[in-house]
Amino acid sequence: MHNPPQKRLKAFAMTGFLDNSVDLEQLIGLRRWLHAHPELSRQEVETAAHMQAHLRENSPPDEIVPLAGSGFAAVYNGENAGNTVLVRTELDALPIHEINDDISYRSVYDGVGHKCGHDGHMTIVAGLAQIYARQRPARGRVVLLFQPDEETGTGARMCCEHPNFGKIRPDYAFALHNFPGFPKHEILCRTGVFTSAVRYMAIKLSGREAHSAMPETGISPALAIGEITQASVRIQEKFDTAEERALVVPVRFDMGVASSGVAPGHGEAHFTLRTQSNEVVDEIWADLASASQRIAEQHGLRIDFEEIEKFAATVNDEDAVAMIEKAARHNGLGYTKLEAPFRAGEDFGEITQRYKGAMFGLGSGENNPELHNPDYDFPDEIISSGIAMFKSLVDQAAEEAP
């Protein structure tokens, strides 16, 4: 399935696609600035402003289209009519404190870090902008979508629903995500579900506080939270088939105060649900909510539910996946056809629900720390292969035009 690494990298070096059309030194400087200045979801004001200024100065587009939140699209019009190809990247970082003290460009903000590689993804798309700023596509349009709020699952949907999105409605939509654990430059893809459907749900229980010397005079959520957690295990077992690969994971509990004399009257249990199907993840939640309701009633507790995050499954179109494989072969990159989807969520699924497209993975090193780890850092070496892939995908879409 994998090409031998030495052969693969040699083939990539021989493509010559970079020649003088991409300034890698400039791109690496951009990536490291972005890494040092991360911003959380819905707060990406400085990141968006920096990217717009960078594009205007170095790769001027024909138009910058404002979208939801800090989101925007840079448009490069071709010389002739043809397909519109959208390439999406993400603006946001994570609430994770960086521990990479050995790098000069570590995050300047305590508790915030680009620990998913969105700094690298933005840089790859900025490299694509360099190409089309120097020479517009022969046909069609290239639309570079800089999307906010991917990590909490609403950015893609808000952008698609924004009135200005009609100006950039694509014929094809593509995105990538780097994945540690795979050789650098390896392309990973599959037809159908690529990343899972995810729900992040809060179960809120309300009773009555009491003196801990007389707990019988109150109504505590403690036992109910334990029983709901046990129910979640049984529900996962019910849905965790070879096809669905379901997960029901308790991720946060909150109950009581730091006082020996107070028995709690309120508590919360948060769960993340994952599976391959939007419909099945809804069934899982229906079961967990129903079980929680029964347990709450048995304990005399009031119960409320909150949906905190929701990610649609990213479903890859068959034709778009064929284009991705062809692009990998063209650039001398190894290609892995994944047997199963990634269990992580990705809000690019909101785009593939609406438009023909696909997401692919880009290997970021077998020994690189995993995504969302405090010591993760996007490897600059794979910027060039990401640019090459997107360039080839745009070229293929242009070939389809009359």
pLDDT tens by residue, 202-247: 999 999 999 999 999 999 999 999 999 999 999 999 999 988 899 9
Nearest to 314 by CA among 340, 348, 285: 348
Residue 99 CA to residue 49 CA, distance in Å, equals 27
Pairing of strands 247-255, 266-275: antiparallel
Measure CA 298 to chain center.
39
Please give the average per-residue pLDDT across 362-379, as a whole number: 96
Left (φ > 0), alpha (ψ -120 to 50) or beta: where does 131 sit?
A: alpha
Decide: 162 and 339 in contact? Cβ < 8 Å.
no
Same domain, 226 and 292: yes
What's the CATH number where 267 sits?
Answer: 3.30.70.360
Residue 321 pLDDT exceeds 60 = yes
Residue 14 pLDDT exceeds 60 = no
Residue 104 pLDDT exceeds 70 = yes
Q: What is the pLDDT of residue 12?
A: 39
Q: What is the pLDDT of residue 347?
A: 95
Which of 288, 310, 332 corresponds to the end of one domain? Answer: 310
Which of 251, 283, 310 corresponds to the end of one domain? Answer: 310
Tokens 């801990």 correspond to what residue?
A: 212
Residue 304 CA to residue 205 CA, distance in Å, equals 7
Same domain, 274 and 380: no
Query: In degrees to the nearest 10, what's the CA dihedral of 34, 165, 389, 76?
Result: -90
Same domain, 56 and 205: no
Same domain, 267 and 159: no
Positive or negative: CA dihedral 231, 345, 159, 321: negative
Q: Using 50, 70 and 90 to split pLDDT, how confident is the model at 397? A: very high
Helices 222-239 & 278-298 angle (0-180, nearest 10) = 150
Same domain, 172 and 87: yes
Structural domain range at position 203: 199-310
Pairing of strands 63-66, 72-77: antiparallel
Q: Using 50, 70 and 90 to split pLDDT, how confident is the model at 320? A: very high
Q: pLDDT tens for residues 114-135?
A: 999 999 999 999 999 999 999 9
Residue 63 pLDDT exceeds 60 = yes
What's the CATH number where 387 sits?
Answer: 3.40.630.10
Same domain, 191 and 207: no
Q: How many domains does the chain have?
A: 2
Same domain, 280 and 374: no
Same domain, 222 and 171: no
For the chain, first and last CA: distance in Å? Answer: 35
Please give the average per-residue pLDDT across 329-355, as a whole number: 96
E strands present in 111-154: 139-147
Residue 256 CA to residue 264 CA, distance in Å, equals 4
Same domain, 250 and 388: no
Q: What is the pLDDT of residue 11?
A: 36
Please give the average per-residue pLDDT across 169-183, as a whole number: 97
Same domain, 180 and 249: no
Grouping H, G, I as helix, E, B as strand and the rest as coil, residue 372 is coil
Which of 310, 342, 375 corresponds to the end of one domain? Answer: 310
Same domain, 255 and 299: yes
